A and B are shown apart, each in its own frame.
Chain A
Amino acid sequence: MMNSLLGALESGLLYALMALGVYITFRILDFPDLTVDGSFTTGGAIAAVMITGGSSPWLATIAAMIGGMVAGAVTGLLHTKGKINGLLSGILMMIALYSVNMRIMGKPNVGLLGETTVFNSISPLLLMPFIVVIVKLLLDLFLRTELGLALRATGDNQRMIRSFGTHTDNTIILGLSLSNGLVALSGALIAQQSGFADISSGIGMIVIGLASVIIGEAIFGARTVFFATLAAVLGSIVYRIVVALALRIEWLEQTDLKLITAVIVVIALVLPSARRSWKQKNVAKKRSMEISAMTDSKQVGGGL
């Protein structure tokens, strides 16, 4: 039990970087980006091939991140310059990346056993907290810069930020690039932790990312950017714990994982909005009763 919880914490931290990437597109840019399924694998592929080729694991990890950034930028170009629907741009890139990833790896699976990885001298459980905290804080800081504010406004009110001189095509491309860079970074670290890169490792990644972001927001709230990114990180860990617990149920199989994930996302999406509309209905009922009681006793005037 303790072991599986520690394992969940470890993968939660590894996938947290991916969740932060999904947070940028899904929440900040309001852009459902399916590139993630491809760029996650791209990250693992680049890292695995470079490491087996003798490169330093850190260099390989950084190269993987850059690979993801390029993939995200292409999705952004398809959407902004090619005027292709956002969802479709991501799907096109996801499909294209499958072939690209295959070209990078040369075969469906590249093993890393016996190779030097970033986790050789230090265990993921010790290293990952530092990486995640640093990435989270850097992201928070970036989102407070003038460029970061423009990026957030692009997702919040494009018309407004354009009227203040921001070319929103550029901020969309920037956001997608940054997001997929983080996703690929996560993919590269996962490959090194698990000892292999696999062509199908990215399948369903976007849903896992969404699950992390939404679960995190539901449990920890997202009042400010600081708390929203914290929620994505913690949501990723909670998700892994939920999965670990679910897998302990005897009649569930490993392959049921994707179904469980989908169900978690559905619950996390439906619950908050159902709760909100229920609350709102109650408030409305109460207020209209108050107001009608007031008008009974005296006329109400319209104030500011």
Chain B
Amino acid sequence: MLQLSHVSKLFHPGSPDEKIALIDVNLHLRPGDFVTVIGSNGAGKSTLMNMISGVIKPDTGEIRIDGHEISHLPEYRRSRWIGRVFQDPMAGTAPHMTIEENLAMAYSRGKSRGFNIGVTSKRRAMFREELGRLGIGLEGRLKAKVGTLSGGERQALSLLMATFTEPQILLLDEHTAALDPARAELVTRLTQNIVSELKLTTLMVTHNMEQAIRLGNRLIMMDGGRVILDVDEDTKRHLTMESLIGEFERISGHKLSDDRVVLGS
């Protein structure tokens, strides 16, 4: 479904600040795979997400979604296949527009936008039903400006907006990191439900080890711009936090250093 082959990216090449963001990354997601990504600071997790979504282009290598070679396509053209939730709850929604208007924009993800009215009564009924499935009462606030929602509510809405059109690939970029524990747990639970119900092929970056182990059927670990560990479904079932940290230190030769890595919630 998603295939990265020999993808590399340097920042500030040739300058004293040269930094390896990704080096020879190979990754293959089968349809329905739910892969969690962990790694230390600067391991290349965010670069990987931006690379797949098209915010940055690879220096070498190629990216394929569903067989289409997309490495040369800009972000707005890749959105046909990709749904994305950002870390910042403010990033995924338009604050001065209403919930139903935001959903209407998400509904036309990747399609050309013309002179059809965005929020029709038929769509509104559908939006209400979809919002109801989140179970946080947003279905009664269709005309509320998104800026008046709490961070958790906005992130739940972002998640719905990214998924209800069933993208081929779902990218979750530490999407619970900016929330307090209770709201993070809510959004995590919603994520789990939506991904398994729609069988979405998902790549989720997290700095929460416990979450990385609990969610998904595969786990990859990144360090210094490389994928250093790819844990398959069978192994992942028996994975513990200690074995994971031990494995990281054995392969990378240094301690797992991320000031934000949390062991559990």
Interface residues of A, Cβ cutoff 8 Å to B: 142, 144-150, 152-153, 156-157, 159-168, 302, 304
Contact = CB atoms under 8 A, between A and B. Distances in A.
A50 to B, nearest CB: 29
Contacts, number: 91
Interface string B174-194: 000000101100100000000
Contact of A302 (B75, B86, B94, B180): B180
Contact of A144 (B80, B110, B117, B186): B117
Interface stretch (B12-20, B101-109, B207-215, B233-241): B101-109
B140 interface: no
B79 interface: yes
A302 B101 CA distance: 32
B119 A144 contact: yes
Interface of B: 53, 74-77, 79-80, 82, 84, 86, 90-97, 101, 104-106, 108-111, 113-119, 152, 161, 180, 182-183, 186
Say what secondary structure dominates the interface of chain B: loop
Contacts of A149: 97, 101, 104-105, 113, 118
A165 B77 CA distance: 6
Contact of B95 (A157, A165, A302): A157
B79 A164 contact: yes
Contact of B97 (A153, A166, A167): A153
Contacts of B86: 159, 163
Contact of B109 (A145, A148, A165, A168): A165
Given A144-B118, A152-B97, A164 B91 contact: no
Contacts of A157: 90-91, 93-95
Nearest to B183: A304
A246 B101 CA distance: 42
A161 B101 CA distance: 12
A23 B119 CA distance: 23
A161 B94 contact: yes
A301 to B, nearest CB: 11
B114 A163 contact: no
Specify which of B95, B113, B116, B161 lies most central, judged by the most chain A CB atoms within 10 Å of its CB: B113
B96 A146 contact: no
Say what secondary structure dominates the interface of chain A: helix
B195 to A, nearest CB: 18
A145 B117 contact: yes
Given A156-B97, A302-B180, A164 B117 contact: no
A165 B94 contact: no
A163 B84 contact: yes
A163 B79 contact: yes
A159 B87 CA distance: 13
Given A146-B108, A149-B104, A153-B105, A166 B115 contact: no
Closest 5 CB pairs of A and B: A165-B79, A146-B113, A156-B94, A165-B110, A149-B118
Contacts of B91: 157, 159-160
Given A146-B118, A157-B94, A163-B79, A304 B182 contact: yes
Contacts of A142: 115
Given A144-B119, A157-B91, A166-B76, A150 B113 contact: yes
Contact of B115 (A145, A164, A167, A302): A145
Nearest to A223: B145
